[in-house]
Structure 1
């Protein structure tokens, strides 16, 4: 039995679903408008923007979100003027529509507040005024001439003053099965005007013992009085019901031929049905002389353009639905609607997906424990069974992680609007070029990388790309180029933000660093070391503080946020040719394939993607066993080595007879380091868990994990280890002795 509490919960879930869908529609709206800015004749993009706005308005109306409905209606009306050719697309229209998108977003954010904030209301009133002026609201509100209709129909006096639309509705049998509520559509019409007369047709309802409770047999004839509603507004009400209804709309002042055509469509050769329909119209207020029969329908040209238009719109909607479901012949095959359409996507709450990943992580740990028990029992059948289970667990883990993988192109797409607005604000011509948008990474990483990318994009637009005059003076094109690129490399994802601007000013950076006492006057730094100075807190060489950048509080935050994701950031620049910022991130933050080692009785896990090879301890280490770090020759290449036991201030694990320590060569970006460990223990599926704040003083650790035995293993931060290894390898022996952890 369904209770009121159940209804409330269902409604709350539906509203939450509407908000999610509305934000998706807003993004589609913005993307379509940005395409139109460079291709004003792109009719498909214009239709996409209109559909997005109409979907938001229609669904908001079903939930009673009137503020969203009323404002979105104004933006939709301007889009309809663009579609009909009554208004060209120019800069004022583009700006107003993009600002309307932002206003709808603000209204959605205030759905919990029925009155809304005064600032949002003021912005809305100002925008509505601009939208109406741009579309010529006065001209659109004038009703069509009614002189031709008055020859056969003499409407009531009120209709002569205010325009009245005639709607003839027939819902098809599958309407209820498809989740449609005829009453909801009729209620929504009252938002466009006033339903002054309505008649429900029940002649098609079968006898009670033959009725199908899930089938719909209702029809309606009604009169809608409205001074502001347009054809697009009214037909849009029934857009979602296009597949399961037959809707005919006659505008105010329709000619007699329009009504004659409608009678022919509804009744055909059935004289009794014709007489009944004419009687109903008379009861609705249409005054005319009843005739024995209605004249034959007019030639096709006389059929109201309204009917043809809504049929075309219905066909477009049906075709779009067919493309989405991949079943264009669904209706012809008569599939039972109760079974539902084949769906390709399922909307899942993020917290449920996170819970699934957590459970699979625990399953991985439990599987490792079972595998260890099987190994200790020395039972071949048990070991074989646990191996099979672990194979399935690994496949399940990979499949679950794949559910969280999303293309980064969605994040890149958000910067189209940023580049457009800031380039106009700065008076620069800038083109955004996006490549690698289909590269996938974990949704949690995508969410956290958006803000750092925003800092980098704004810096490139403000400081990197020169004004047009400066570019022309040095022989560059007037239009600057900002590039966003992503690709996978060695188990990580690389994101590059590049511009073709002036590049970083090495001398200015050095001067600022010397001025602040960060480096000595005689410091001899490589370019890569100079660029790293930019990431120091508060460091900025901007000559003026702007609303866009130059406050010195951005790049250090960028680096800190990226390192929190176990990533790294590098800068590359060439004077006069531009700057590239390269970000390297792990594909996922939840689980990794690891390589298990032991140092000083503690287990350490190295990301398998970073492990290059394992070798014996080099002679250079044996010559100075008390040192923390040094360098060694690996097949002609000089690499730093780092003794993890000395680094963490513990004694190496005593080795069994004949055993020896090893070096694991790991790489990060284009750098490598040899890590001296006590024991190599092989591959290990690693569920990464965060370390508590009390362990924040420990160096170069990215987290922890639980082994099958119940022991805790520490996950190494390879980037942090490289920094320490390089710093220690350049230090003197006396300094090294003091650098124990």
Structure 2
């Protein structure tokens, strides 16, 4: 077994469990027992996995938190805001411990122990000042003593290679002691060879263990997951558990199930034991042997339980459909990135092959390249789909942000989330987290009023910050809104005039005025807080969003609230592009933004046309990019839409739709306006991808200026 790989799996799964634990803590007041059970399961699983690796610091701290959660489950401790805040702090500390495990500094980091001490002390207060239950020391006993009534009987036979595979048999027994009380252990040494045949790297011992605990058989079986292939395990339940199994089988509704599924559901057989029995049944030597006989023969279950399950099975009229299997695998993100890069190069190579085929006009070659293009397009879509993730995971992170910030600033604020199923590229998700965090914190600090002010204005005392996501024209739109006091239009305008950003007397639309808050250092806050008011942040938000080929807009109504709309591309790698020509230059427009193409007649000196009774502003790309040469006699207008903006682009020629691999422009062209990237054509030339958000904003501004 590759221990480094197993450890990485533990680290990844621990972080997922911590995220689940945090989400459950934030909704525990509404979900009640279900959320408490989810929190307990997450903490218990992390503790168990850490115990298998001998990570005592993680085990000891998590054990105290788990003890408090156990009291919460039993109703001995009530859940309030103070306990939720404490457990969230514990969740963070466990995360720091896991980070130390990954860095290899867990044992030597004294600062972690110092940071965890106040949390442990606070947890002990909920345990009535008593120390956490001590781990019970096992006592020596005989095999006959182990099988007494009222306790589990666990029979372990470790394989000879268990030590060579990096596993310590005693570590599993020690962890078992954290789930209950080991009443005794009988060590079996009957497999020990003669002294001259003894191999110090081999394991020859077995154990018969008496164990008292309230956990079920599946939990006990789960202790030995990491050593499953190097040992033989038999778990016999106490007499009272057998009574519970029989009672469950008697009370379960008359629904026809497979025997194995029924035994697993009642807890008398583990999923692993069922899997082993089915494997034996499928083998040639055991063909035709009933599953119940195999399970009894393996010692996994008592005959009385099997007989009760069979009797219940015969009472049911029809079989129950088996649930669909949910299969998934973990794939390293770097491998996906490598795949996308290779697909991009394949598209470029395919474009070159198509160009050669059109030049030669060989029918067989044209047919082959056409088939190849279709397959490449399917491969592209499938590869991009692998990197698409739901934005709900990102939205859920803000439950914690809203919880912590609302406590910090003394406001009662809730987070409302919708559109969690909207998907976008994982690279966009990774880079949008920080801008969204700033927008949410800003809405809470500046947008939501204090409770007394809200009540005086006829609003509920509790403020609301909402996150919403949806797809629109090949983009994903994320809205961050609040029901607070809204932006003060006149104050923003006065501040902009004071700073020289706007000339006095100039007429601006609401959108242009609200857009001024994205200027560097711009702030109308009357006082500086820990969260905002220094004028640093909103300009960074816009810069980060623009770097993702996105745009951001603000709409606000004073006294009612503010909505910030962020529009982002679904992917940063490959798009369907519409190519246009201006002189010898080729430009690419994202196909999802193209609405139609119309003939352009330049018969008047004006910057708009009449499109079916509606004025449509346009921009000449030749003039915008200062390209040399005279325009051709018959030009075209490509009508494009980006969000609520709509305009036309005057071009010389329409080249059609092509798959476009997006390449960055590089640092030399970082300041180039109206461009978001480049692409390599089939003939090796470079085509420039238009930044539609910036281009249409410029068209809109010029149109308003002309109107004024």
Once the 2 structures are TM-superposed, how far is the Cα of residue 533 of structure 1 from its aligned partner?
0.6
Q: Distance in 2 between matches of 1:86 and 1:317?
A: 33
Once the 2 structures are TM-superposed, how far is the Cα of residue 362 of structure 1 from its aligned partner?
0.8
**Is 1:129 aligned to 2:121, yes or no?**
yes
Once the 2 structures are TM-superposed, how far is the Cα of residue 593 of structure 1 from its aligned partner?
0.3
**Is 1:501 aligned to 2:501, yes or no?**
no
- The answer to whether the Cα contact below 8 Å between 1:700 and 1:717 also exists between their aligned partners in 2 is yes
SS in 2 for 1:452: helix
Match of 2:579 among 596, 602, 616: 596
**Is 1:220 aligned to 2:212, yes or no?**
no
- Higher Rg: 1
Which deviations, in whole Å up to 9, do the C-alpha atoms of 1:532-591 show, x marking residues without a partner?
011101111111111122221111111111111111111111111111111111111111
Q: Distance in 2 between matches of 1:357 and 1:672?
A: 32
- Corresponding residue for 1:475? 458
Closer, same or farther in 2 for the Cα pair 1:126/1:637, shift >3 Å? same
Closer, same or farther in 2 for the Cα pair 1:566/1:116, shift >3 Å? farther
- The answer to whether the Cα contact below 8 Å between 2:596 and 2:638 also exists between their aligned partners in 1 is yes
- The answer to whether the Cα contact below 8 Å between 1:166 and 1:222 also exists between their aligned partners in 2 is no
Q: Distance in 2 between matches of 1:641 and 1:403?
A: 38
Once the 2 structures are TM-superposed, how far is the Cα of residue 647 of structure 1 from its aligned partner?
1.7
Once the 2 structures are TM-superposed, how far is the Cα of residue 457 of structure 1 from its aligned partner?
0.6
- Corresponding residue for 1:70? 60
Q: Distance in 2 between matches of 1:679 and 1:482?
A: 47
**Is 1:48 aligned to 2:38, yes or no?**
yes
Q: Distance in 2 between matches of 1:69 and 1:15?
A: 15
Match of 1:92 among 56, 66, 82: 82
- The answer to whether the Cα contact below 8 Å between 2:158 and 2:169 also exists between their aligned partners in 1 is no
SS in 1 for 2:700: helix
Q: Distance in 2 between matches of 1:22 and 1:349?
A: 17
- Corresponding residue for 2:651? 677
Q: Distance in 2 between matches of 1:141 and 1:631?
A: 79
**Is 1:712 aligned to 2:686, yes or no?**
yes
- Corresponding residue for 1:364? 347
Q: Distance in 2 between matches of 1:583 and 1:48?
A: 34
1:537-556 maps to which residues of 2 (within 5 A)?
537-556=520-539
**Coordinate RMSD, CA, aligned:** 4.1
Q: Distance in 1 between matches of 2:647 and 2:427?
A: 29
Match of 1:102 among 89, 92, 104: 92
Match of 2:48 among 58, 66, 74: 58
Closer, same or farther in 2 for the Cα pair 1:191/1:653, shift >3 Å? farther
Which deviations, in whole Å up to 9, do the C-alpha atoms of 1:517-544 show, x marking residues without a partner?
2112322222111100111011111111
Once the 2 structures are TM-superposed, how far is the Cα of residue 630 of structure 1 from its aligned partner?
2.5
Closer, same or farther in 2 for the Cα pair 1:170/1:507, shift >3 Å? same
Aligned length: 623
**Is 1:721 aligned to 2:683, yes or no?**
no
- The answer to whether the Cα contact below 8 Å between 1:188 and 1:237 also exists between their aligned partners in 2 is no
**Is 1:635 aligned to 2:612, yes or no?**
yes
- Corresponding residue for 2:512? 529
- TM-score, scaled to structure 2: 0.79
Which deviations, in whole Å up to 9, do the C-alpha atoms of 1:583-630 show, x marking residues without a partner?
1111111110000111121111110011111112233xx445xxxx82
SS in 1 for 2:335: helix
Match of 1:414 among 378, 382, 397: 397
- The answer to whether the Cα contact below 8 Å between 1:185 and 1:238 also exists between their aligned partners in 2 is no
**Is 1:17 aligned to 2:9, yes or no?**
yes
Closer, same or farther in 2 for the Cα pair 1:721/1:238, shift >3 Å? same
Gaps of 5+ in 1: 1-6, 145-152, 157-164, 206-215, 250-257, 266-298, 304-313, 734-741
- Corresponding residue for 2:558? 575
Q: Distance in 2 between matches of 1:493 and 1:316?
A: 45
- Corresponding residue for 1:397? 380
Closer, same or farther in 2 for the Cα pair 1:616/1:116, shift >3 Å? farther
**Is 1:651 aligned to 2:628, yes or no?**
yes
Once the 2 structures are TM-superposed, how far is the Cα of residue 109 of structure 1 from its aligned partner?
1.8
Gaps of 5+ in 2: 143-149, 193-202, 247-259, 284-323
**Is 1:379 aligned to 2:371, yes or no?**
no
Closer, same or farther in 2 for the Cα pair 1:321/1:195, shift >3 Å? closer
SS in 1 for 2:130: helix
SS in 1 for 2:607: strand
Closer, same or farther in 2 for the Cα pair 1:728/1:89, shift >3 Å? closer
Q: Distance in 2 between matches of 1:194 and 1:82?
A: 21
- The answer to whether the Cα contact below 8 Å between 2:180 and 2:214 also exists between their aligned partners in 1 is no
- The answer to whether the Cα contact below 8 Å between 1:167 and 1:221 also exists between their aligned partners in 2 is no
**Is 1:199 aligned to 2:173, yes or no?**
no
Which deviations, in whole Å up to 9, do the C-alpha atoms of 1:249-296 show, x marking residues without a partner?
9xxxxxxxx8xx59xx9xxxxxxxxxxxxxxxxxxxxxxxxxxxxxxx
Q: Distance in 1 between matches of 2:8 and 2:451?
A: 46
Once the 2 structures are TM-superposed, how far is the Cα of residue 91 of structure 1 from its aligned partner?
2.8
Once the 2 structures are TM-superposed, how far is the Cα of residue 196 of structure 1 from its aligned partner?
10
Q: Distance in 1 between matches of 2:329 and 2:217?
A: 31
- Corresponding residue for 2:29? 37
**Is 1:686 aligned to 2:660, yes or no?**
yes
- The answer to whether the Cα contact below 8 Å between 2:140 and 2:184 also exists between their aligned partners in 1 is no
SS in 2 for 1:414: helix
- Corresponding residue for 2:317? none
Once the 2 structures are TM-superposed, how far is the Cα of residue 335 of structure 1 from its aligned partner?
7.2
Once the 2 structures are TM-superposed, how far is the Cα of residue 62 of structure 1 from its aligned partner?
2.3
Once the 2 structures are TM-superposed, how far is the Cα of residue 52 of structure 1 from its aligned partner?
1.0
- TM-score, scaled to structure 1: 0.76
- Corresponding residue for 2:407? 424
Q: Distance in 1 between matches of 2:517 and 2:562?
A: 13
- Corresponding residue for 2:307? none
Which deviations, in whole Å up to 9, do the C-alpha atoms of 1:381-405 show, x marking residues without a partner?
2111111111111011101101111
1:173-252 maps to which residues of 2 (within 5 A)?
184-186=171-173, 188-189=175-176, 198-201=185-188, 220-222=207-209, 238-241=221-224, 245-247=233-235
- Corresponding residue for 1:486? 469
Which deviations, in whole Å up to 9, do the C-alpha atoms of 1:626-656 show, x marking residues without a partner?
xxx823322222222211122212224775x
